[in-house]
């Protein structure tokens, strides 16, 4: 069982990064094979709407997305983690998501994406306590997952955490993240 973690923050060892590491530890505790992608370290151009993908499901832009598509398609589980930037996902992560219009094209236009029972979860963190802080991002992740056959099954949304590493002072967030990863692995193995 493979679980892919996608780290959307530019801040290494920041709150998102630490939360995702715990979630992946939780998944590993259930014998999942885990891999973490740090989106900020990749060269991913934003979607230019060339729509080459409508012809054969492949994006015409050549960059680090070439190695991300197969990872997205072969993972059994995916955990996406992001800080909130202006009530949304980071630009780095949104570029990766938008480039997956190519996978959307495979599924809905070319009907070439095999049906799969894959599952995904979202970890969000923000500094404020706004009630709607995660609403937009949750929808984006949900429909991103749906575009290539991943069911949105779990989430961990942490408010009121700002400075790098401040998440370590939160009473439950890191252990909640561990549990999220563990639950995802258990759901994937039929538990």
Ligand X SMILES: Cc1cc2nc3c(=O)[nH]c(=O)nc-3n(C[C@H](O)[C@H](O)[C@H](O)COP(=O)(O)O)c2cc1C
Q: Which residues bind ligand X (CB under 6 A)?
A: 9, 11, 14-17, 83-87, 125-128, 133, 161-162, 164
SS3 content of the chain, % helix, strand, coil (to 5): 45, 20, 35
Residue 14: CB minimum distance to ligand X, A:
2
Q: For residues 138 and 38, what is the distance between their CA atoms, to the nearest angstrom?
A: 20
CB of 55 to ligand X, least distance (A): 36
Task: Please state, in angstroms and rounded to a whole number, the distance separating the CA atoms of residues 19 and 175.
Answer: 9
- Cβ nearer to ligand X, comparing 9 with 30: 9
Question: In the bound complex, what is the minimum distance in angstroms from residue 160's beta carbon to ligand X?
Answer: 8
Tally of CB atoms within 10 A around 135: 12
Task: Please give the structure tokens belonging to residue 180.
Answer: 């999220």
Is the CB of 86 or the CB of 131 nearer to ligand X? 86
Query: Nearest approach, Cβ of 121 to ligand X (angstroms)?
Result: 16
- The residue sitting closest to ligand X, measured at its beta carbon, is 14
Query: Exposed, middle or buried, 120 (CB in 10 Å: 0-12/13-18/19+)?
Result: buried
Which is nearer to ligand X, 134 or 152 (by Cβ)? 134
């Amino acid at each position: 069982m493979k679980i892919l973690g996608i780290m959307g923050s530019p801040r290494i060892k920041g709150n998102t990064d630490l939360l995702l590491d715990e979630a992946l530890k939780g998944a590993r505790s259930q014998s999942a094979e885990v891999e973490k992608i740090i989106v900020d370290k990749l060269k991913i151009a934003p979607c230019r709407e060339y729509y080459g993908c409508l012809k054969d499901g492949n994006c015409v832009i050549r960059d680090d997305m070439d190695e991300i598509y197969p990872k997205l398609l072969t993972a059994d589980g995916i955990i996406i983690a992001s800080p909130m930037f202006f009530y949304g996902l980071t630009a780095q992560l949104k570029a990766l998501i938008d480039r997956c219009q190519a996978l959307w094209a495979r599924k809905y236009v070319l009907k070439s994406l095999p049906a799969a029972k894959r599952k995904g979860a979202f970890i969000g963190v923000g500094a404020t306590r706004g009630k709607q802080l995660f609403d937009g991002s949750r929808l984006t992740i949900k429909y991103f997952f749906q575009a290539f056959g991943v069911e949105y099954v779990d989430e961990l949304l942490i408010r009121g955490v700002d400075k790098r590493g401040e998440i370590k002072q939160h009473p439950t967030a890191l252990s909640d993240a561990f549990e999220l990863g563990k639950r995802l692995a258990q759901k994937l193995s039929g538990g």
